[in-house]
Chain A
Amino acid sequence: MRMLFAALLFLVSAATFAAPAPGTLADPAQETRARTLQKELRCMVCQGESIDESNAPLAADLRALIRAHIRAGESDDRIKQFLVARYGDVILMQPPFDADTYALWLTPFLVLISAAGVAIWVVARAARKPRGVA
């Protein structure tokens, strides 16, 4: 039993749940930048998780990559541009605002404005209607 357990423990470290490598940056400001960036980037092989939260190996690699770029003195935007060039917009947790996403970003405003418009029309009509119909 003990042997089996040891073998299984080995599996744990080896297989699916690979390291969320905590290799932190020495400079706390840089580390904060890394953590913020991690939260804005999606784990490409997971469901809706950022690479900050994910246990997937790919996420761990990206965390290390981000730190390497920060150490090299690159700005947050440069790092994001680099990753978008490599993986596409799909890596961003928050989609960009461009021709592909106008509908995504603007529709909620349209819905709010039209719903408010309809509501105002309904209230105006109801206020004009004679009492006692209900």
Chain B
Amino acid sequence: MTGEIGLLALCLAFALAGVQAIAGLAGTRPAASLARNVASSSAFGLFVFIGLSFGALTYASVTDDFSILNVANNSHTLKPLIYKISGVWGNHEGSMMLWVLVLAVYSAAVAWSKGGSERLTSGALGVQGLIAAAFILFILFTSNPFIRLDPAPFEGAGLNPLLQDPGLAMHPPMLYAGYVGLSAAFSFAAAALIAKERDWARAARPFMLAAWIALTLGIALGSWWAYYDLGWGGFWFWDPVENASLMPWLIATALLHSALATERTGAFRAWSLLLAIAGFSLSLIGTFLVRSGVLSSVHSFASDPTRGLYILVLIFVAIGGALALFAWRAPELEEGAHFEIVSRETTLLINNVFLVTALAVVFLGTIYPLISQALGTPLSVGAPYFQIFFMPLFLALLVIVPFGPRLAWQKGDLRAAAHALTPAFGVAILAVVLVLTFTSPRTLAGTLAFGIAAWLIVASGLDIYRLNWRAVRVGAFASSLAHAGLAVTLMGIAGTTLWKSEGLEVLKFGESMYVGGYTLRLDGVRGVQGPNYQAARADVTVLSNGRVIAVMHPERRIFPAERQETVQTAIRTTILSDLYLALGDRRDDTHWTVRAYVNPLAPFIWLGAVIMALGGLASLAGRLRRPRAVPDGVAAPAE
């Protein structure tokens, strides 16, 4: 019964999405208040039925209902409960179900939100309804998760062991919350064009923020997982699938900054609309690249040409339609705004110039191998290409960042800003001197990275310190926090990249290797039985200056049901540095390969991401507490 209930709920959800689309779009006419009510009721109904359908699939997975093909293919009775739940989205069909579930949550939130005019919100609901209908149709026709299997097998095929990991259980929902959150910004932008509504940025901002926070955390989780799970100490591969999540993040970051000016002074109105459209378009392209099997990796669960084709058509319709609408209506909405050369608007514009260029780099580097493959001259675009461009772009951008919040809207005072930033400049110089004196190898990029990180952190700290806490605007605090987080991440990346020490040796039991000041003695490797795997667990004694400081246990795990093996690294962190061990292969009874890394500042990478997300959360909380912002003012303080 569960499967049939789920399928029925999904069909009803499709009908409701259709109603929401038609009523929502009709509701953009001033008189159509009935249609607006229908649209928001449909949005809540959509949420209930998608929730029911998703719940049915989860129930089937948790209760090991192998009469449902999807569960039989991806689950196993011995799998721990958490992975029976997360396994729901650990496959193509289920992940699309999660996609529409998140979409329904955002739709309900749009219906509930009070930030925009009734016509604008109604139009946004209409566009959300269209997207929901298209995706539910996609699920029903190409990716039905409720197909029955008769006779039902006694045991399921299991879930890819790489996906059986707590970090990865949370990674897809986070990332989807980001991708789909951009659909809400997209819907508001499209609604603004349809309803000719100038004041859209304020209504869309909570959704942009939510999307950006989720993307930041989702990307950080993915990178953290790659770090501790893949066993070679790297945190970012510039893998096409990672890039697919980085591109929406870059756009969302650009949009957050540009839309700030739009909301406050009306500047960059058309440009913000275009960014909102581009953000969701890149989310769709990302979904296409990942789901169509164009790229093969742990992310692409199945390569079925029909699915790829459907998503491709969807992309063309969504992007083409939105751009046509933009070309038609945007000139009417753009009115231009006055600002001086020295003003906060200019710094936001510079931010966008750098972020758009960074986006172009990621986009080119990701699709170029596909194009060159098609043209018959295959080539690879690996990490070096991206790093060559990213380093100067981001370092230059971060030099500008502290000026932004210190310049007023429309007309700023550069001299006063520079004066206020003198302490930050002093500390930055000090950081440069320290790095040059005490570290090796000395590199220009590393020195600059730490100097600029210090510059940004001290500037952000000064911003927070100088806030008037009695009349504090949450936004000013939030942006300082987010900028400081970025600086922390920068230090992590620079430290790990520059000063990593590594070792790779075959050790006999009792033998030691020496990495980054540590002595690592392999005492032995023994067999351990897990719930649904067998492991070879090493005992590695860690000595520093002749004293035992820890015993670490890197593992290799074998999952018999899935016939796969995974590496379980052992990481000992002091926040300032990670000692990272991975067990390599077995040579004979007493010889094993051991990989060891000392990654200075590695935890800063993810710590910084968390600080950035906290900044976003602070801003979001400020918005939700006070949905109607203060009236526009030229001298309004930083946000």
Query: What is the interface of chain A, defined by CB distance below 8 A to chain B?
Result: 1-2, 4-5, 8-9, 11-13, 16-20, 22, 40, 42, 47-50, 53, 88-96, 100-101, 103-104, 107-108, 111-112, 115-116, 119, 122-123, 125-127, 129-134
Contact = CB atoms under 8 A, between A and B. Distances in A.
B153 to A, nearest CB: 23
Closest 4 CB pairs of A and B: A93-B382, A94-B384, A111-B360, A134-B337
B237 A126 contact: no
Nearest to A132: B338
B378 interface: yes
Contacts of B296: 47
A63 B529 CA distance: 34
A92 B360 contact: no
Contacts of B565: 11-12, 16-17
B381 A13 contact: no
Nearest to B559: A8
A133 B349 contact: no
B442 interface: no
A19 to B, nearest CB: 6
Given A9-B536, A47-B297, A48-B238, A123 B338 contact: no
Interface string B478-511: 0000000000000000000000000011100000
8 contacts: A9-B527, A19-B593, A49-B237, A89-B378, A95-B380, A101-B379, A112-B353, A116-B353
B372 A129 contact: no
Contacts of A116: 353
Given A53-B232, A126-B345, A13 B585 contact: yes
Nearest to B560: A8
Interface string B550-586: 0000001010100001000000000000000000111
A123 B346 contact: yes
Nearest to B345: A126
Given A17-B565, A22-B505, A89-B379, A104 B364 contact: yes
B266 A134 contact: yes
A18 B565 CA distance: 12
Interface residues of B, number: 65
Interface in B423-449: none
Give the dominant DSSP class at B's interface: mixed
Contacts, number: 159
A48 B369 CA distance: 11
A19 B353 contact: no
Contact of B357 (A11, A111, A123, A125): A111
A48 B240 contact: yes
B382 A42 contact: yes
Interface in B585-639: 585-587, 593, 595, 632
B275 to A, nearest CB: 13
A93 B238 CA distance: 11
A9 B353 CA distance: 54
A60 to B, nearest CB: 10
Contacts of A91: 380
A98 to B, nearest CB: 10
A120 B292 CA distance: 40
Nearest to B566: A17
Contact of B385 (A22, A94, A119): A94
Nearest to A23: B506
Interface of B: 232, 234, 237-240, 265-268, 295-297, 335-341, 345-346, 349-350, 352-353, 356-357, 360-361, 364-365, 368, 372, 377-385, 388-389, 393, 410, 504-506, 527, 529, 534, 536, 556, 558, 560, 565, 584-587, 593, 595, 632
A49 B298 CA distance: 14
Nearest to A44: B380
Contacts of A112: 353, 357, 393
A123 B341 contact: yes
Nearest to B586: A13
A95 B381 contact: yes
Contacts of A108: 357, 360-361, 364, 389
Nearest to A131: B338
Nearest to B340: A127
Contacts of B595: 20
A104 B360 CA distance: 10
B356 A111 contact: yes
A11 B339 CA distance: 68
Contacts of A133: 266, 335-338
A68 B238 CA distance: 30
Contacts of B345: 123, 126
A100 B356 contact: no
A126 B587 contact: no
A116 B351 CA distance: 11
A127 B560 CA distance: 68
Given A17-B565, A126-B345, A133-B335, A1 B504 contact: no
B2 to A, nearest CB: 35
B378 A90 contact: yes
B558 A129 contact: no
Contacts of A19: 584-585, 587, 593
B380 to A, nearest CB: 5
B512 to A, nearest CB: 15
B354 to A, nearest CB: 8
B506 A93 contact: no
Given A22-B593, A107-B364, A108-B361, A9 B377 contact: no
Nearest to A35: B502
Nearest to B359: A111
B257 to A, nearest CB: 13
Contact of B360 (A12, A20, A101, A107): A107
A24 B357 CA distance: 41
Given A12-B558, A90-B380, 16 more contacts: A5-B534, A11-B565, A12-B556, A19-B584, A20-B585, A47-B240, A48-B240, A89-B379, A90-B378, A95-B368, A103-B364, A111-B357, A123-B339, A129-B338, A133-B266, A134-B266
Nearest to B362: A108
B377 A119 contact: no
A19 B377 CA distance: 31
A48 B377 contact: no
